[in-house]
């Protein structure tokens, strides 16, 4: 009987320079998998490669084959001395690790959704390459089931844990339905761009302005928005519901005077302003203007930190769920030990069952006992092999059943 193994590097065990060297694209994984399986002798394997981890999941009946697999992988990636950065887990610990990865409980940002798609994709590639089988297929199926349970039964993905997404969540609380909201992205900073992208998905109309019009035009094409001239900023403000300010300016781009004028022209319809710039580009006194909701980077970080604490509490609940799923999987894996006995028993009893229908019930109970307690399978099989084939009387059947049941 073999074992499950999980090995590799992730953001906890290795710096980015090492992870970069070991990272694999989809095409490379397709080439590596058959080679590693053939040369190492492991029965099944899969490779998961993301920006934060490069991990191999394997099933093998010989542990030395897994060690060879690891050496081969490091050699192929040009890092033969990289073992000091790697983790190595087997058995229940490996299964628990794999379930944690699939459920995003092992992610840098607990609860992030991307890992589920990446996990599915790694499995799809391995299955198409022919390097998974009965064991890993079942493992991945149960890992995804565990992931779904964690997301449904806990709140690990309920609250925003990125600055950009936290800004969007706050906007939703203020405006409710954002489908008709007009969003002006001032500048082309990365976090501002991410926030605008989130808002775009919610159906907002996106407008972009930048001191360099060409940058605004390029970004508007990427986001599917509209580029506007920076010189028209003051004229544009009254028409906007949400401002995302993310520039590299050293002074205030949005002033209290500009916003007071804009709010009068808006008849004091609410305006939400997110200043993600460092240094700040929105004059702090803007927040004093009636119906203006101003948040800067520190405000958003406070929201993120609070949400992270909530997620970590929920993650502890998630781990309890995972251990429940791990126990179910390892029980199934353990039950595979008795399959040869069950198949032999069914084969030998087939003729006897036709002659004595009562025997079928006893065989069924014997098989159930084997699955429940694999250690007694050889004993039960021996009893049936020696006794049952020659039993034709009801009393004899009862005697055999009592022996098997008490074995």
Of 149, 225, 156, 216, whose CA–CA distance to 187 is shortest?
216
The residue annotated as part of the active site, out of 24, 46, 51, 204, is 51
Are residues 245 and 253 in contact, defined by beta-carbon separation less than 8 angstroms? yes
Phi, psi of 162, rounded to the nearest 5 degrees: -120, 150
51 as an active site residue: the answer is: yes
Burial of 287: CB neighbours in 10 Å, binned 0-12, 13-18, 19+:
middle
Residue 391, SS3?
coil
Instruction: For residue 103, give Cα distances in angstroms to 4, 26, 146.
Output: 18, 22, 7
Phi, psi of 204, rounded to the nearest 5 degrees: -75, 155
Which residues lie across from 47 on neighbouring strands?
Answer: 56
Which residue matches tokens 């992270």? 308
Are residues 194 and 171 in contact, defined by beta-carbon separation less than 8 angstroms? no
Q: What one-character DSSP code corresponds to residue 35?
A: H
Catalytic residue list: 51
């Amino acid at each position: 009987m073999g074992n499950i193994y999980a090995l590799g590097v992730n953001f906890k065990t290795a710096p980015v320079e090492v992870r970069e060297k070991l990272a694999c694209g989809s095409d490379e994984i397709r080439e590596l998998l058959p080679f590693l399986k053939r040369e190492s002798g492991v029965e099944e394997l899969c490779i998961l490669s993301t920006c934060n981890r490069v991990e191999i999941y394997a099933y093998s009946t010989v542990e030395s084959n897994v060690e060879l697999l690891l050496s081969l992988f490091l050699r192929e990636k040009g890092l033969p001395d990289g073992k000091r950065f790697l983790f190595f887990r087997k058995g229940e610990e490996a299964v628990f690790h794999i379930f944690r990865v699939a459920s995003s409980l092992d992610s840098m940002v607990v609860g992030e959704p991307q890992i589920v798609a990446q996990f599915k994709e790694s499995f799809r590639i391995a299955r198409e390459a022919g390097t998974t089988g009965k064991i890993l297929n079942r493992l991945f199926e149960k890992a995804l089931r565990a992931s779904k349970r964690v997301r449904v039964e806990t709140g690990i993905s309920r609250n925003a844990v990125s600055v950009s997404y936290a800004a969007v969540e706050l906007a939703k609380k203020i405006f409710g339905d954002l489908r008709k909201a007009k969003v002006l992205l001032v500048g082309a900073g990365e976090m501002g761009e991410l926030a605008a992208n989130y808002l775009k998905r919610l159906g907002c109309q996106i407008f972009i302005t930048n001191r360099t019009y060409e940058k605004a035009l390029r970004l508007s094409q990427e986001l599917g928005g509209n580029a506007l001239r920076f010189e028209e900023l003051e004229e544009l403000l009254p028409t906007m519901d949400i401002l995302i300010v993310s520039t590299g300016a050293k002074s205030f781009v949005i002033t209290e005077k500009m916003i007071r004028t804009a709010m009068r022209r808006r008849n004091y319809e609410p305006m939400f302003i997110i200043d993600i710039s460092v240094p700040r580009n929105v004059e702090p006194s803007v927040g004093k203007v009636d119906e203006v909701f101003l948040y800067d980077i520190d405000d958003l970080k406070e929201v993120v930190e609070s949400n992270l604490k909530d997620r970590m509490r929920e993650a502890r609940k998630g781990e309890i769920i995972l251990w429940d799923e791990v126990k179910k999987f390892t029980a199934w894996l353990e039950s595979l030990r008795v399959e040869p006995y069950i198949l032999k028993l069914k084969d030998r009893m087939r003729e006897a069952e036709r002659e004595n229908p009562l025997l079928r019930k006893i065989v069924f109970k014997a098989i159930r006992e084997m699955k429940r307690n694999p250690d007694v399978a050889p004993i039960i099989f021996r009893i049936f092999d020696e006794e049952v084939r020659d039993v034709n009387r009801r009393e004899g059947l009862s005697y055999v059943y009592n022996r098997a049941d008490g074995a």
